[in-house]
A = this chain, B = another copy of it.
C-alpha cells in the first residue's frame, strides 16, 4: 500500500515532464533545426555548454538517487498519512515558484528581453499542457496493467522505457547515435534489468500478451513524453529556461488542483491541505521539485539519452548507498548489471569520439 502510494507520487511528479504526446511534424522539424544550430556553436561557448551539461547531469543523478533513498527512508519510518495529490500539487507549485524566483533575478540583473518575457503567443504555450493530458493516459494504463503484471515484474518491464526513448529520440528528433552508442544503449537496458533481477523475476516471462502490449504502449508513451519535452524546450534555444519551465509546470499545478477537487476534496476540507505532512514529506517534496527542474535542465542543455543514463546510474548509486544506510545486501546480479551499465556509459562516451560512418 505504501509502496503504491510512493509509486503514484512519482508518477504525479513526472506530470509535466515525462508524459507528453502528439507532436506536430512541423514544430519538431524546427526544433531539430534549432537544436542543430545550438550545437554548432563551438569554441568557448562549446566548452561552457559542456560544463553546464555536466553540472545539470550530475545534479539530476544525485537528486534522483537521493529521491529513491528518501522513499526507502520514509517507507521504513512508515509515515504516509498525507494526501498524495496535495503533495503532487505542492511539488508543481514549488517548481513554479522556483522558476518565477529565478526569472525575477534575471529580470533584475539583465532586464526584460524577448527571450525572458513571460507573456508569449498562444502558439508557443499551446503545446505545454499536452504533457498533463498524456500523463492521464499513462496513469490510467498503469491501473489496468496491474491486472496482468505484478509490481516486481512491472519494475522489470519499465526498463523498456530505455529502448523506447532511444528509438523515438532517433525517429522523432532525427538525431543520430553511432553504432557503438546503439550497442551501449541496448547494454544499458540489459544492465539495468540485470541489476534489478531477483529470484522471482522470472515471473515476468509469464506475462500475458495483453501485459506486454500495455507495457510497450506505456514505454512508448513515456519515451514519447521525454522526446516531446526535449523538442518543445529546444524549439527556441535562446528562450530563457525558467520561462519554459514556468509554462511546463503551471499546467501541472492546474491539473493537480482539478484532481484535488475531484478526488480529495472532502479529506482536504475536513483534515486540512497539509494534514499528515512530516519533515520527510517536506524533504521529498523539495527533492521532487529540484529533480523536476534538473530534468528540464538536462532536456535543455543535454538530451534524453543523457537523462536516461543519468537516472540509470542513479538507480545503481541508490542501491550502493542503501547498503550503508539500510544494510541492504547487493546480489551478484546487481554487480553484473552494474558492470554492464558502467561499460555502457564508457562505450557511449567513446562511441561519440568515433567518426560517424
Query: In this assembly, does A190 line the interface, its C-beta being within 8 Å of a C-beta of chain B?
Result: yes
A155 to chain B, nearest CB (A): 12
Interface 1/0s, chain A 177-201, versus B by CB < 8 A? Answer: 0011001001100110110010101
In whole angstroms, what is the CA distance A49 to B354 when docked? 29
Residues of B close to A144: CB separation below 8 A? none
Other than A194-B336, A205-B331, give 11 A-B pairs with Cβ distance below 8 A: A180-B347, A180-B350, A183-B343, A183-B346, A183-B347, A190-B343, A197-B336, A201-B332, A202-B332, A333-B333, A340-B340
How many A residues face the partner with a CB closer than 8 A?
28
Residues of B close to A22: CB separation below 8 A? none
Query: In this assembly, does A339 line the interface, its C-beta being within 8 Å of a C-beta of chain B?
Result: yes
Residues of B close to A156: CB separation below 8 A? 332
Residues of B close to A202: CB separation below 8 A? 331-332
Residues of B close to A339: CB separation below 8 A? 186, 190
Task: Name the residue on B nearest A347 (C-beta).
Answer: B183
Residues of A80-126 at the interface with B, using a CB-CB cut-off of 8 Å, are none
A341 to chain B, nearest CB (A): 10
Query: In this assembly, does A204 line the interface, its C-beta being within 8 Å of a C-beta of chain B?
Result: yes
CB-based closest 10 A-B pairs: A199-B199, A190-B339, A194-B336, A190-B336, A183-B343, A202-B332, A201-B332, A190-B340, A202-B331, A194-B194
Interface 1/0s, chain A 19-54, versus B by CB < 8 A? Answer: 000000000000000000000000000000000000
Given contacts A340-B340, A343-B183, A347-B183, A332 and B190 within 8 Å (CB-CB): no
Interface 1/0s, chain A 266-285, versus B by CB < 8 A? Answer: 00000000000000000000
Residues of B close to A347: CB separation below 8 A? 180, 183, 347
B350 touches A179 (CB 8 A): yes
* Cβ-neighbour of A205 out of B180, B183, B190, B332 (below 8 A): B332
Residues of B close to A201: CB separation below 8 A? 332-333
Residues of B close to A343: CB separation below 8 A? 183, 186-187, 190
Residues of B close to A180: CB separation below 8 A? 180, 347, 350
In whole angstroms, what is the CA distance A201 to B330 when docked? 12
Interface 1/0s, chain A 199-223, versus B by CB < 8 A? Answer: 1011011000000000000000000
Residues of B close to A190: CB separation below 8 A? 336, 339-340, 343
